[in-house]
């Protein structure tokens, strides 16, 4: 009987180690979603607003690209599709991260709009107003 009790001890240690790993992973996800997503959201939104400020309707898209390259962008990611620039903040719980959409025609900016990941039509309450005539098509 004593030998069977000793063989159960390593399994209990493995089970405890597994629980610890699962708990650490869970806490890591909570950190990412809440701490990273909410605490740093203001810093990310501030960087996005700095880009919003330099993007002027009627301005050159090429000049905007040059100005944005000089701005601090710790949190911002950017994508470019022809005459469209999309700048985004990090993922947040509830898809509440902001996107800055800059549309242009023939190299001149026609629209500057902030929206959330959920919809191009949803304008966050704390965001500044749209600049120019903005379409709501992707």
Q: What is the DSSP string of 26-64?
A: HHHHHIIIIIIIIITHHHHHHHHHHHHHH--TTSBHHHH
Q: At what angle do helices 61-70 and 41-54 cross, to 10 degrees?
A: 140
Report the alpha-carbon distance of residue 13 to residue 27 in Å, rounded.
21
Q: What is the pLDDT of residues 86-111, one digit of tens each?
A: 999 887 666 678 999 999 999 999 99
Span of 21-25, 37-41, 79-83, 122-126 with lowest mean pLDDT: 37-41
Region 126-138 average pLDDT: 85
Q: What is the pLDDT of residues 27-78, one digit of tens each?
A: 887 777 666 666 677 788 899 999 999 999 999 999 999 999 999 888 889 9
Region 8-33 average pLDDT: 75
Report the alpha-carbon distance of residue 5 to residue 52 in Å, rounded.
67
Q: How many residues does the chain have?
A: 138
pTM of the model: 0.71
Give me the pLDDT at residue 12, please.
63
């Amino acid at each position: 009987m004593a030998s069977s009790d000793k063989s159960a001890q390593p399994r209990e240690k493995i089970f405890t180690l597994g629980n610890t790993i699962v708990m650490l992973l869970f806490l890591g996800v909570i950190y990412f979603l809440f701490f990273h997503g909410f605490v740093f959201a203001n810093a990310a939104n501030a960087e996005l607003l700095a880009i919003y400020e330099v993007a002027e309707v009627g301005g050159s898209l090429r000049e905007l690209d040059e100005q944005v390259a000089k701005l601090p962008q710790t949190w911002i990611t950017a994508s470019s599709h022809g005459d469209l620039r999309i700048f985004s903040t990090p993922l947040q719980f509830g898809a509440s991260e902001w996107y800055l959409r800059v549309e242009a025609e023939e190299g001149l900016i026609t629209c500057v709009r902030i929206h959330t990941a959920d919809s191009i039509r949803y304008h966050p309450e704390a965001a500044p107003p749209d600049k120019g005539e903005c379409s709501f098509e992707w």
